[in-house]
Structure 1
Amino acid sequence: MQLNSQVNVQAAQSEIRQQGRTRLANFLNSDDLSALCREVDAINQWNLVSRLQGRHLDLDAQAMQGISSAQRQEFYRRLAEEPGFTYLFENYPIYDKWHSGALKATTPQLAKVFTLLNSAPVLQLMRELLDAPDIGFADAQLTRYRAGHFLDKHDDAVEGKSRVAAYVLSLSHGWQPQWGGALEFYHPDGSVSERFLPQLNTLSLFAVPVPHAVTRVKADIQAHRLSITGWFRCGEDPGP
């Protein structure tokens, strides 16, 4: 798997320097993208991730689909009352599975994407775009936002993680603005400065820290907001 040679590096570099973010359209070659999307559509083991009582939760997404209506209502009630930063979406832990040795055997196309993100050409591109020569690796997760899923406003700054920039590689086909699921950026006063809608095979890249969120997917939407997300980080990969 290789980076699409038609990516407009010069324009992206200018946008990063002026605005702290950019979008790289047609990030993957079309054949690689098609194989990747077929594999992602076949994945049936997802985590439902959230934050309750001040701690991160990894739940079995399929099992959560089978809980009673009363249990589901109680879960959402507690989530709505949770103070501070909260979120709700599904993920497939690419980075952890890579380090456990399971990724290539179970999802070889995702393994190829992870290898590409950590390849010398991509890491060098990110060092140049972000003016960050210390970038040493990328982590990754596959995310799926279904109806009602969201990610509250935050800035990605976590002590010890050495995050230089966040990225979101969209795998969503035909996503519509009215569905929600937009990546929003904010001014210091809390107003929206820019909104990125999911666009197939586009890599959104933005410097850390910057306030951003993923708006709630509307309750009646059947489509899934799919993307590979993570951070380009400094130093050597410490493992999960």
Structure 2
Amino acid sequence: MVELKNISEKLESIQEEYMKNKRVMLSDVWTDESASLLHEAIENKTSFLNAFAIDGKYIQSSDRELGNMTTEEKRELQRTIYKDASNGIGFFYGRHNINKNTEFSLYKALFNYLNSDVCLNFIRQITGNENVISASLQVTRYISGNFLTRHNDVLPSEGRAIAYVFGFTPNWHPDWGGLLHFFNAEGGMVDTFFPKNNTLSLFDVNLPHSVSYVTPFAKYPRYSITGWFNVI
């Protein structure tokens, strides 16, 4: 069983903070047991696929597949990914999809909880969006060389309304990268959310954002459970 803490006494101030700029970051959101179970599962029981795009084609490769490439193949792949990124379109990070058919019992419980009336009502109250009816989710991992360039999360076919990030990254240093940046319409940076453990970031899918490049000297992976609260 996983569950969020009861933060009803803070709800009004959280609502006010979200309404100001359509984003908010909350600390200490999961119960201690839930936070511990989820962090341990992400770190030790989750297999990731490395997601990236080449010439507009979405690709996923396992760690083993990338590890079996020759040095020159790895360099060529990196050059191709970074070439697209230099033009403002690109991503490279690890992901593990979670859906209603997920077999791992903890992640199945997580999927059901995030799609429960208790959790969805919590999100509706914070954001004021009464049309939220479901949640989609994935586990993400950012390691050295990973990044996500500036974009928004609008996808009408999936009905995305509110993006979320549950952070599970203790002892992160800002010089390591992996920062969640927000931008205005002109491309100016207006805010940054720092990776931390047991946090929840919520933001409107229309807000331009990015995850900054993770440096070669980052000591640990940046782990999160991310996704969207949807209206269809």
Deviation at 1:6, TM superposition (A): 3.3
Which stretch of the first structure deviates more once superposed, 191-200 or 123-132?
Answer: 123-132
- Matching of residue 175 in structure 1 with residue 175 in structure 2: no
**DSSP-derived class of the 2:59 partner:** strand
Q: Distance in 2 between matches of 1:61 and 1:43?
A: 14
**DSSP-derived class of the 1:148 partner:** coil
Q: Distance in 1 between matches of 2:217 and 2:82?
A: 19
**DSSP-derived class of the 1:17 partner:** helix
Q: Which residue of structure 1 lines up, in the alignment, with residue 139 of structure 2? A: 142
Q: Distance in 2 between matches of 1:39 and 1:17?
A: 33
Deviation at 1:180, TM superposition (A): 0.3
Match among 207, 221, 224 for residue 224 of structure 1: 221
Deviation at 1:54, TM superposition (A): 0.7
**DSSP-derived class of the 1:67 partner:** coil
**DSSP-derived class of the 1:202 partner:** strand
Deviation track 1:146-202 (CA, whole Å, cap 9, x = no partner) reads 001000000111231211110000011111111100000012221210000111110
Which stretch of the first structure deviates more once superposed, 124-133 or 66-75?
Answer: 124-133
Match among 27, 31, 34 for residue 32 of structure 1: 34
Q: Distance in 2 between matches of 1:209 and 1:172?
A: 25
Q: Distance in 2 between matches of 1:6 and 1:44?
A: 29
**What do you get for the CA RMSD once the two structures are aligned?**
1.4
Match among 191, 203, 208 for residue 206 of structure 1: 203
Q: Distance in 1 between matches of 2:88 and 2:36?
A: 39
Q: Which residue of structure 1 lines up, in the alignment, with residue 81 of structure 2? A: 79
Q: Which residue of structure 1 lines up, in the alignment, with residue 121 of structure 2? A: 124
CA contact (8 A) 2:46 2:96 kept: no
CA contact (8 A) 2:143 2:220 kept: yes
Residues 44 and 21 (structure 1), Cα distance of their counterparts in 2 relative to 1, 3 Å cut: closer
Q: Distance in 2 between matches of 1:118 and 1:24?
A: 19
Deviation track 1:16-67 (CA, whole Å, cap 9, x = no partner) reads 1111000121111001111111122223521000011112111122221231
Residues 44 and 231 (structure 1), Cα distance of their counterparts in 2 relative to 1, 3 Å cut: closer
Q: Distance in 1 between matches of 2:75 and 2:145?
A: 13
Q: Distance in 2 between matches of 1:66 and 1:191?
A: 40
Q: Distance in 2 between matches of 1:148 and 1:9?
A: 38
Q: Which residue of structure 2 lines up, in the alignment, with residue 196 of structure 1? A: 193
Deviation at 1:108, TM superposition (A): 2.2
Deviation track 1:78-97 (CA, whole Å, cap 9, x = no partner) reads 112224421000011113xx
Identity %: 26
**Poorly superposed stretches of 4+, deviation over 6 Å:** none
**DSSP-derived class of the 1:140 partner:** strand
Alignment: residue pair count: 228
Q: Which residue of structure 2 lines up, in the alignment, with residue 238 of structure 1? A: none
**DSSP-derived class of the 2:51 partner:** strand
User: Normalising to structure 2: TM-score of the pair?
Assistant: 0.93
Q: Distance in 1 between matches of 2:221 and 2:90?
A: 20
Q: What one-letter code is carried by the residue in structure 2 that aligns with 1:138?
A: A
Q: Which residue of structure 2 lines up, in the alignment, with residue 114 of structure 1? A: 111
Q: What one-letter code is carried by the residue in structure 1 that aligns with 2:5?
A: N
Q: Which residue of structure 2 lines up, in the alignment, with residue 2 of structure 1? A: 3
Deviation track 1:96-144 (CA, whole Å, cap 9, x = no partner) reads xx3xx2x2x3x32222222221111110111122221111000000000
